[in-house]
Structure formats: C-alpha cells, structure tokens
Structure 1
Amino acid sequence: MSRFSADAIVVGGGLAGMAAAIAVAKAGLSTIHLAPTAPPDRRTSALMMPSVEYLRRAGLVESPEALGQALTQIRIIDATRRLIRAPETLFDATEIGLAAFGWNFANSRLLERFHAVAATLANLQTRPLGATALQRLDDGWSVTLSDGTTLSAPLIVGADGKKSLVRSAVGLRTSERQFSQSALVCDLELGRPIGGTSIEFHYPQGPFTLVPAGGNRANLVWIDDADVLLAAQAGGEAQLLGQFAEKSQRLFGSIAMATPSFVFPLSTLSVASAGLDGVVLTGESAHAFPPIGAQGLNLGLRDVADLAEALAGVDRSKPDWAMTVSADYASRRAADLVRTGGLVDTLFRSLLADMIPAQALRAGGLWALKLAPGLRRQAFDVGMGRR
C-alpha cells in the first residue's frame, strides 16, 4: 500500500480547479481536491467553441444550450473621439461555418454542473479546506491543510489563483503588472435584447462590453480608470444607470440593474514555466489577464486538456512519473501561454494607445479585418484559441 494519501492533490476550488480535479481522477489517479468554501461566483465566462467541445468530450457539459447563451456575433464600435477612428466591424460565426463562436455561461451554473460530475467519481475525494503550506519530500509533496492535518502525494496541481501558495512553494517565477484601470461588472436588463451579439464600445480607457446572457439580460464589463468606476458606483444606482445609457449610446432602450455591481483591479500575471518537480499550475495560478478577448477560462481549460494528455502518456509504474508529468505539461503549455499572453497584452495596449501612429494601426487593422476574408479567418482562429 502506498504511503501517500493519494496519487494527486488538486488545490483550488474554482472552475479551473474543479475541471482539473475531474480530469486527473478520470485519468485513473486517486485524487484529493482541496476546495475551500467560497462566496457565490456571480461572474460569467464566454467560452469559445474549442473550450465547449472540450467540456463535451470530458463529460463536463452535455448540452450548452441548457446552461448558457450562444454567442453568434461580435460587434465592435469605436466610441472614441480620436483623430483616426476604426470602422464599426461585425464578425459573424456563420462566416466560418459555425452556428456560434461559443457560449456565455454563468460561472455558478458551470460550477454546479462540475460538482455533479465530480460526485460520480469514486476515486475523487473533495474536502472543503484550503492549503496553508507545501513541503518537498524525497519523492513527492506534503500539504498542510487549514485544519492542521497533512496530506501527501507525488503530483500536486495548483489551481489556487493569482496569489497561489502552490506556485510560491515550488519557486516558479512570475512576471506581474498592475494597470491603472479596473473593471466594473454586473448584469443588466435591457429594454431591447441584443440576441446573440456581444457588443464592444471602445473608449479611450478601455471597452464597455455587453455580452448576451439570454432574453433581455446582458453581462456588462466596463473597463476604465479605477477612480472613474468607483465614483460612478458611489453615485448611486440612478447615476450609474445614466452612465450605462450614455456609454451604450442609448441603443437598447431602458436599462435596469439585474445584479449588484462590483469593481476589481486589472493586472497580468505569467509564469516562466507551468510545471516543475511534480507540480503543475492551471488557471490563474499560471496566467491572469484583463477581461479582453475572452481568454481567461478558455486558457485554463486548455491547461486542463494538456494535463489530461500528459497523464495519459505517462508510465505511472516508474517512481519519477510525477516529475515526468510536470515536465511534459510545462512543455505542452509553453507556446500557448506565450502566444495568448502576447495577444491579450497587445489588444489591451492598442485599446488604450493615444498616439496617432497607434490609432492608425488600430483603425487600419480593423479595416483589414473588415475587408480581407483570409485575415478575418486567421483572426477567428486566434480569438477562439484554435491550435
């Protein structure tokens, strides 16, 4: 009998952590998932079709239409008053032979579905506790839990967020940057529905985006300077709704709050390597971006898919199998993390640039995407995370 508590310990109870725990257990490993109780996640995630297809293959989602709203179009409106403005641009999924680019899901509904799947796996044990320490053993890792008990395993999966204890304990280096901008998010009820179209109004300090959430409801993501957003929020609901109407150019009739708003700061985080010494990082433990281009959870699910591939290809009869998995995983993830991080950074910087050459490049780029079918198809592939 193994002296380890399990083959793998997954740390982190968010969507990426849940998906990772299920993938590891489905690979045949005895798995302990440390998922401390957290407040309800009121955010949403726009998952592109490759991510939705992975969820289907992994048995995590059977019918996306039962959980989310199809995203069929993306409309970009340059709402700045810059000297050189970009043209209004519409991307339609039918251009690439798809019914939808992806689906917009409420995180709480996805998490509920993942928990239901996890409950069917006999080799997956979930504990509502966090980790407080991680210590290297000769042939694995020891994890101290928030109740003072310890567990051990050859493989550790860190899915414990931007301030990852797992990442710090293993010594994986990060590169981080804080922005002056923050994001205000909430759900709105619109007087006129937006159907399946995600609409982005581009302003000098960031986009004001409405993502379809079914019926007349839309998820709002408003990026601006932190003091602007906090002042708008502090002014009360009537003032806030007035700003929403102005920012959306009064295109959707009446606007009402469907959920409270909250503001969070924006930053980026990347790691030099996503795996080392029997430890792998998934989700925001390995990467974090501003909510631009719908890349966050999409990238996290690609992490999980590559982890599943690394586990499928390893010989676990060998004593160093976990080391092999972490090295293989790091290699598989390297190019995607660099490519996606560069894409999101470039997009975010281009939206904020005030210099006339940058304005011309951004406008010219959108004109090219508007008029050149081949370039549009490449942009679709990059934006959807196709590999």
Structure 2
Amino acid sequence: MTRFDSQAIVVGGGLAGLAAAIAVAQAGLSVIHVAPAAPPDRRTSALMMPSVDYLRTAGLVDDPARIGHALTHIRIIDATSRLMRAPETLFDAGEAGLAAFGWNFPNTRLAEAFAAGREKLSNLTTRQAALTALEIDDTGAILTLDDGGTLRTPLLIGADGKKSLVRAAAGFRARESGFTQAALVCDLDLARPLGGTSVEFHYPQGPFTLVPAGESRANLVWIDERAVLKAAQAMDREALARLFAEKSQHLFGSVSLATPTHMFPLSSITVDQAGKDGVVLVGEAAHAFPPIGAQGLNLGLRDVADLALVLGDVGRTSPDWARIVSRRYAERREADLKRTGGMVDALFRSLISDLLPAQLLRAGGLWGMKMLPGIRKRAFAVGMGRG
C-alpha cells in the first residue's frame, strides 16, 4: 500500500494558493501547503460581492470594511478619438439591489487575513520550499522540493501562477498569448477623492483605471504599450504626476504619487481542462488574462469554492477518489472558465483593435448597457461572476 505524506498538497504561496489550502483543509483533508517565501504583493484586488461572501463564509474576512474599501459605482469614459466612440456609462450598485458591487482590498491585508485563517487549522501544515520536480503515477503525485525533501500525495492542487510547474509537469495542454501591452500600477493621492467610484478611462491601448482606496487615495492600473510605460517610469515624479492628471482628464484635480510605480507584462493563459489524473489547477495556473473587469482573483476564488464543493460531494473510500475529484472539478469549472476568459479577451481586444467592426461592437455594447435595462442586468450578472 502506498504511503502518503498527506491527503492533499497545495503548491503556491499566493492568495489563490492560501485560499485553496484553507478550503481543502476545511473539507477535512490533511494538507501540506508548499509555499516558498516571497516578497509582499503591493497590488490590490477588487473582489465582487460573491467573492466577498465566500471569504466571509470561509471565515477568512469577517468585516470587509476593516481591510478594504467599498466599490459602489463603476464609471467608464471613452477617452479615444475614434470615429465610433462609446458613451460615458455609469453603473450603480443600487440598480442591482446591492450596497456595493464589491470591495477593493490591498493584497497584503488579504494575505495577512488568509494566513491567520491557515494558522487555525491543525490539519494544515506549511512547508516553506519551492517545487523543483514533479512526477505523476497511478497512485498520485511525487514532489521534489528545493530543500531536498520529497513528498507524495493522491491529490495535488497547483496554484503556482502563470509559469506553473505543476501545469507543465502534469501534462496539461495550455495556450498562452503575449501582448505588446503591459500594466503599470501605483498608488496616487487625488485632490478630489473618488468616493466609492472606480473610474475607467478607455484609451486606444488599454484602460487607465483609478480604483478607490480610501479617503483621497486611488490605486492606479494603467495598461499601455510597454515602451510608453517605460518612458513614463523614466520621468521625474512631478512630470509623471502631471501626466496622470492629464490622463484622468483633470477630473480629480492635482495628482501626486504615493508609491513607486511597478510594471507587469500582460499575457493570457487558458487550459483545455482544469483537472485530471488527481491534479487540479486553480488561479493563474489555470487561467490568466489582462486586468479587465476585475476578474482575476475573483475567478480564482470561484475555482477554490468549486473545489471545496466537489470535495464535499466525493467520498474518499475509493482508491481513485483523487482522480474522481479532479475530473468532477474540471467538469464543474469548464463553463465559467470559458465564459469569463472569452468575455475578458473580447473586451480587451475590442478596446485595442484598430478595426472598425470591433470598435462598432464595443461602442454598441456600451450604448446597450447604458440605455437598455435588460442588457445592463446581464452585464451586472456577468461582471459579478453569476452569468
């Protein structure tokens, strides 16, 4: 009989990995979380209410107001000079019967909350090491770590990001597309605060988005050509602040930088299936796309929630229970991954496309969301992950 070190191993120390390790342990399995030490993630995550509700149910966030900021409105402004321009559109959470669409959280605060939840689980242990090699056989997965250790498990959860070793070594078929655009992020202080409104200025190479971060603070996510962003980073602070004020159309008065800027390349990753042979993928190991529509971590948390549901439905008396879990998980996640990935890809490509038909579709879609209640309601549902 094969001897296992735990019933499940989760690889990856990011937010999706932390959430997955906790969820699997809460389902009653013994879990080892392989999470190498990493620098703090200074970005933020806009989580829609279904994700916030999940975090509350899982006991990871009790009061979102303690660590985040409510998103009550979403304002979209077409800042292009194209012939076919979309109308300015404002989405109000009250139209959907909600106090807020969601909450904007600093990733460092989420990580602290998740880590605190992890420490409460006696059946969950953490191994601060990195995965260096992986083998899959008929009984499960054999992991080799950079600390010299070897672990064996029947169920392996890969949450190790875009360059997932779990995904590659387990033989998942993935399609990856690179973009010439990148994302520049930093925190800004505005003379006129955003309140609860996230504001997206849509430029030809991507959105320039200001997300509320409390009082006069805003989180900036600016997508543009890499050369443009590198040139912006080379500016002195005063010149860069003037550029940011110009790109926000001076709607919020003077702008000052509160943190240094960081740039991240953009790419998209899709897999044919999110689970097989006792291995499941969550978060960016399974899907990645440009930061449009605040779907990244929201989709990852839906991965985790569905994995927890599958684990609750599948007994562990059968020798192949882990393979059953991976197959059912893949089936359960298929529709959401295709729908959300397709939506985000279409939105981003329509924004950066020079083709008139794509611009017409985008402008027509925003006109429909502005004027037609049925389309607005559908857009709410898809954006919240309920579509």
TM-score normalised to the size of structure 1? 0.98
Map of 1:106 onto structure 2: 106
Q: Distance in 2 between matches of 1:207 and 1:354?
A: 15
Shift, 1:140, TM fit: 1.2
**Residue correspondences, number:** 387
1:116 aligns with 2:129: no
Map of 1:172 onto structure 2: 172
Q: Distance in 2 between matches of 1:48 and 1:136?
A: 36
Q: Distance in 2 between matches of 1:201 and 1:34?
A: 40
1:128-207 matches, within 5 Å, as 128-207=128-207
Map of 2:214 onto structure 1: 214
Q: Distance in 1 between matches of 2:260 and 2:8?
A: 38
Deviations 1:205-231 (A, max 9, x none): 111000001110000000110000001
CA contact (8 A) 2:133 2:143 kept: yes
- Secondary structure of 2:341's match? helix
Deviations 1:102-146 (A, max 9, x none): 000000000000000000000000111111111123311111111
Map of 2:305 onto structure 1: 305
Map of 1:42 onto structure 2: 42
Map of 1:30 onto structure 2: 30
CA contact (8 A) 2:2 2:139 kept: no
Deviations 1:302-338 (A, max 9, x none): 0000100110011101110000000000000111111
Map of 2:348 onto structure 1: 348
- Secondary structure of 1:361's match? helix
Q: Distance in 1 between matches of 2:156 and 2:295?
A: 24
The amino acid that maps onto 1:7 is: Q
Shift, 1:361, TM fit: 2.3
1:1-387 matches, within 5 Å, as 3-387=3-387
Q: Distance in 2 between matches of 1:172 and 1:261?
A: 35
The amino acid that maps onto 2:231 is: A
The amino acid that maps onto 1:24 is: V
The amino acid that maps onto 2:86 is: A
Q: Distance in 1 between matches of 2:268 and 2:241?
A: 29
The amino acid that maps onto 1:176 is: E
The amino acid that maps onto 1:283 is: G
- Secondary structure of 1:100's match? coil
- Secondary structure of 2:4's match? coil
Q: Distance in 2 between matches of 1:239 and 1:291?
A: 26
CA contact (8 A) 2:71 2:212 kept: yes
Q: Which 5+ residue runs of structure 2 have no aligned equivalent?
A: none
The amino acid that maps onto 1:250 is: H
- Secondary structure of 1:176's match? strand
The amino acid that maps onto 1:10 is: V
- Secondary structure of 1:3's match? coil
- Secondary structure of 1:103's match? strand
Q: Distance in 2 between matches of 1:136 and 1:339?
A: 30
Q: Distance in 1 between matches of 2:14 and 2:355?
A: 39
The amino acid that maps onto 1:44 is: T
The amino acid that maps onto 1:38 is: A
Q: Distance in 2 between matches of 1:256 and 1:128?
A: 38
- Secondary structure of 2:109's match? helix
The amino acid that maps onto 1:317 is: T
The amino acid that maps onto 1:284 is: E
Shift, 1:84, TM fit: 1.7
Shift, 1:358, TM fit: 2.6
Q: Distance in 2 between matches of 1:366 and 1:138?
A: 51
CA RMSD of aligned residues (A): 1.0
Range with greater deviation from structure 2 (131-140 or 377-386): 131-140
Shift, 1:256, TM fit: 1.1
Q: Distance in 1 between matches of 2:309 and 2:357?
A: 44
Shift, 1:2, TM fit: 7.0
Deviations 1:147-189 (A, max 9, x none): 1110111000000001101111110010110001111000101
- Secondary structure of 1:113's match? helix
- Secondary structure of 1:110's match? helix
Shift, 1:67, TM fit: 1.1
Change in 2 beyond 3 A, CA 1:232/1:313? same
Deviations 1:327-372 (A, max 9, x none): 0000001111110110000100111122333322222221111111
